[in-house]
Chains A and B, each alone.
Chain A
Amino acid sequence: EEQLLESGGGLVKPGGSLRLSCEASGFSFSNYGMSWARQAPGKGLEWVSSITSSGATTYYADSVKGRVTTSRDNSKNTLYLEIISLRAEDTAVYYCAKPLYDFWSGYSGSPFNLWGQGTMITVSS
């Protein structure tokens, strides 16, 4: 069974930093680009970042660019999201997401067919 398990969330003071992890199982992790999305309390979904299957290329939303680094360790089947200079508006549930199509499909884009349960970041003094 395909699964994604996020961890690393918590309460952090403004200006602080956190590193989220997403451990994947049940599929060939190294064949898939992966993404992070977030959802502020009572709000809609917001894409945060994506990374290619090799980890060579990353993409970031303008709202987090310069403060977020996405990386992966294919030997550990794990995706990471490091956020620095945290602000109140970063308070959200952070989800990792797997696309329906892998690198070899040839499609330039893919919807997400697997999401983790999410990990909450609360930024507050």
Chain B
Amino acid sequence: DIVLTQSPDSLAVSLGERATINCKSSQSVFYSSNNKNYLAWYQQKPGQPPKLLIYWASTRESGVPDRFSGSGSGTDFTLTISSLQAEDVAVYYCQQYYSTSLTFGGGTKVEIK
């Protein structure tokens, strides 16, 4: 199975500041046939199901604020929140859909400093 390792486990950021979350894959999730990275990011708030934020590593889902952005390719990926808002307090997960055996990262908890 593809292992996704997220870092850090948690981070505290001041309102309006940048938050950066990393996701490292144990193998490449890049499909050369269509030039796409099969990597998504989700946001989960307490008591709620996950919400899709980013897919194909950098495509923002409809309705997601543009302060959320994704980058990276192959095995190393980043989710950036450019200016943290109070409503962004949540746990963030990366997920690969390259393999039929889907896997998630361990999650990163984002809090307000």
Binding site for B on A (CB under 8 A): 35, 37, 44-47, 50, 59, 61-62, 95, 100, 107-113, 115-118
Contact = CB atoms under 8 A, between A and B. Distances in A.
Given A44-B106, A46-B104, A108-B31, A113 B52 contact: yes
B103 interface: yes
Given A44-B107, A46-B104, A50-B102, A109 B52 contact: no
Given A95-B49, A100-B55, A108-B31, A45 B100 contact: no
Contacts, number: 57
B54 to A, nearest CB: 9
Contacts of B42: 45, 112
Contact of B61 (A45, A47, A95, A113): A113
Interface residues of B, number: 27
Main SS class of interface, B:
loop
Interface of B: 1, 31, 34, 38, 40, 42, 44, 49-52, 55, 61, 91, 93, 95, 97-107
B52 A44 contact: no
A111 B70 CA distance: 14
Given A111-B52, A117-B49, A35 B104 contact: no
A109 B101 contact: no
Contacts of B1: 62
Nearest to A108: B31
A47 B103 CA distance: 6
